[in-house]
Amino acid sequence: MKLLEFVNLEVVESVKNKDLLTWLDYTSMEVKQLLELATNLKKLAKNNVHPPLLAGKTVGLIFEKHSTRTRISFEVGINQLGGHAMYMHARDLQIGRGEPISDTGKVLSGYMDGIMIRAHSHKMVEELAEAASIPVINGLTDLFHPCQALADVLTIHEVKGYLAGLKLAYVGDGNNVAHSLVIACAHLGIDVSIATPKGFEIDSTILNKAQKLAASNGSSILATNNPIESVSGADVIYTDVWTSMGQEEETAARLDAFKEYQINEDLVKHAKTDYLFLHCLPAHREEEVATSIIDGPHSVVFEQAENRLHAQKAILASILS
Per-residue model confidence as pLDDT tens digits over 152-163: 999 999 999 999
Cβ neighbours for 120, distance < 8 A, ≥ 6 positions apart? 64, 65, 141, 142, 246
Residues 181 and 103 in one domain: no
**8 in any annotated domain:** no
**5 in any annotated domain:** no
pLDDT higher than 50, residue 6:
no
**272 in any annotated domain:** yes
pLDDT higher than 70, residue 304:
yes
pLDDT higher than 70, residue 5:
no
Residues 213 and 278 in one domain: yes
pTM of the complete model: 0.96
> What is the mean pLDDT of the segment spanning 99-122?
96
Q: Percent of the chain scored above 90 by pLDDT?
A: 90
Separation between Cα atoms, residue 284 and residue 93, nearest integer Å? 32
User: Residue 200 belongs to a domain with what CATH number?
Assistant: 3.40.50.1370
Residues 101 and 195 in one domain: no
Residues 154 and 213 in one domain: yes
**Chain segment 189-225, per-residue pLDDT in tens:** 999 999 999 999 999 999 999 999 999 999 999 999 9
Task: Give pLDDT, residue 144.
Answer: 98
pLDDT higher than 80, residue 110:
yes
**3 in any annotated domain:** no
Point out the residues that are catalytic.
118, 145, 148, 240, 280, 308
Residues 88 and 219 in one domain: no
Cα torsion through 14, 19, 23, 27, rounded to 10: -20
pLDDT interval class at 92 (50, 70, 90): confident
pLDDT higher than 80, residue 180:
yes
Residues 135 and 152 in one domain: no
Phi, psi of 52 (to 5 degrees): -80, 65
Residues 221 and 139 in one domain: no
Closest CA to 219 of 196, 195, 185, 194: 185
Closest CA to 180 of 66, 24, 15: 24
Residues 262 and 236 in one domain: yes
Per the structure, the complete domain to which residue 207 belongs is given by 147-304
Task: Give pLDDT, residue 66.
Answer: 87
Separation between Cα atoms, residue 63 and residue 245, nearest integer Å? 13
Task: Give pLDDT, residue 2.
Answer: 43
**103 in any annotated domain:** yes
**61 in any annotated domain:** yes
**6 in any annotated domain:** no
The end-to-end CA distance of the chain, in Å, is: 11
List, in sequence order, every residue forming a beta bridge with 138; answer none if it has no partner: 117
Structural domain total, the chain: 2
